[in-house]
Amino acid sequence: MDILYHSGTLFIVIGVLFFLSGTVGLIRFPDIYTRLHALTKADNVGLGCVVCGLALQSGSWVLTVKLLLIWLLVLIASSASCHLIASSAMQKNIKPWTRP
């Protein structure tokens, strides 16, 4: 049981690092399209790691299934919202960034 708890903690820390990298991408990347890419990829993987860590620490199959369903719903919502934002940016003729 102790090894599962520490493995879960490791997964949570890795997930937080993915969230941090997505935040850095949001701040540092030049345009909306690259920012969306950084956020959706890093946040989905980060949440997956956090869910995995919490599932290892939970000790309950019911709670683990609920966590996985939450992750699935967030994946769907994240993809849909990213697509809508990118479509809106394209309709407003916001051009993707190119190297000068």
When pLDDT is cut at 50, 70 and 90, the band that residue 59 belongs to is: confident
> What is the per-residue DSSP string for 19-40?
HHHHHHHHHH-SSHHHHHHHHH
Nearest to 37 by CA among 25, 49, 28: 25
14 CB-contact burial (10 Å; exposed 0-12 / middle 13-18 / buried 19+): middle
Q: Quote the pLDDT of residue 78.
A: 93
Q: Is residue 1 pLDDT above 70, yes or no?
A: no
Q: For the residues 43-47, what does the mean pLDDT come to?
A: 94
On whether the CB atoms of residues 95 and 28 are closer than 8 A, the answer is no
Q: What amino acid is encoded at 34 in this protein?
A: T
Q: For the residues 93-99, what does the mean pLDDT come to?
A: 89
Read off the pTM.
0.87
